[in-house]
Amino acid sequence: MGKIKDIIKLTRIEHSLMLIIAVVAAEMIALGLPGINVLILSIITPVFISMGAFAINDYFDIDTDRINRKSNPLLKGNLKPKDALYITAISMIIGIAASAMINVYCFAIAIVFAALSILYSYRMKNMLLLGNAYIAVSMAIVFIFGAYAVSSSVRPAVLLIIAMIFLSGLAREINGTVRDMTGDVKARKVRTLPVVIGRKAAVAIAFVLYLIAIGITLFLFLEVAPFLYNMYYGILIAISDILVFNSGIIFLLGDKKSYRRARNTSLAGMGLALIAILIASLVYI
């Protein structure tokens, strides 16, 4: 039982719920829910590729996590580094195989992002801003994947959502490098944005990105169907924006003791934004 809990923690299963919501919302906005077979396959793909991505990331991050995140399951002893490699391989194969049974677009997206997730953990995360940008893109690409699962094009509404998720995801990742700066420098000699330009400048950039993302959520409410004056969306996205804004403020104030809470708050805000988008796609009043 302990090993199962460690596998769940290693693969960050809680993130999979957000991916499921994102895929279903994208499908609803693009064309409507597909048949049950395509729906299941379109959920399996991002969930398993995400699981594999988290597992391989923890494999390469063992030294850094000894300083930054001692809760890494590979440091507790129930799982060995080779277990992370097995889990990565199995998860990636399942995810890519599922995408191949949808269509060529989804297969191509799955292949590219499975490969990039490994490259990110191995080398890309050490590159200034590139690693942060990859993570932000990987959050947003789920909407493109969902749209192409049911259609051969992407609607403008989906593109705006992608922009909003990318910007908030990039902001969150920059703040993450601020939180992990000490361990990143000591263990991996990584030149992240706060290392190069300083903590204050980095969190200021992240805060501006959050503000732009919040602006997009407001634009969707005022101008774009199915979000146009949709009060279900409006109420939920307002709470989401408050959570994200609060997270950015905590980093701006430099309260290091609250960094972890702020990161969790931003994740909750982004998760709520996905729920708001899903509900808007289901109920338009």
- Give the confidence band of 285 by pLDDT, cuts at 50, 70, 90: very low
For residues 120 and 167, state if they share a domain.
no
For residues 191 and 260, state if they share a domain.
yes
For residue 218, what are the domain limits? 155-285
Task: Find out whether 78 and 39 touch, Cβ atoms under 8 Å.
Answer: no
Determine which of 50-54, 115-119, 121-125, 206-210 has the lowest per-residue pLDDT on average.
121-125
Last residue of a domain, one of 123, 152, 181: 152
pLDDT of residue 188: 62
Range 2-10 average pLDDT: 81
**CA-CA distances (angstroms) from residue 128 to 54, 184, 202, 240?**
20, 12, 12, 29
For residues 49 and 127, state if they share a domain.
yes
Residue 75 has pLDDT above 90, yes or no: no
Report the SS3 class of residue 229.
coil
117 or 187, higher pLDDT: 117
Q: What is the pLDDT of residues 132-147, one digit of tens each?
A: 898 899 889 999 999 9
Query: Secondary structure of 14-65 in the HEC alphabet?
Result: HHHHHHHHHHHHHHHHHCCCCCHHHHHHHHHHHHHHHHHHHHHHHHHCHHHH
| The two structure tokens encoding residue 263 | 């990161």
- Computed over every residue of the chain, the mean pLDDT equals 88
- Give the confidence band of 183 by pLDDT, cuts at 50, 70, 90: low
Last residue of a domain, one of 152, 173, 199: 152
For residues 144 and 54, state if they share a domain.
yes
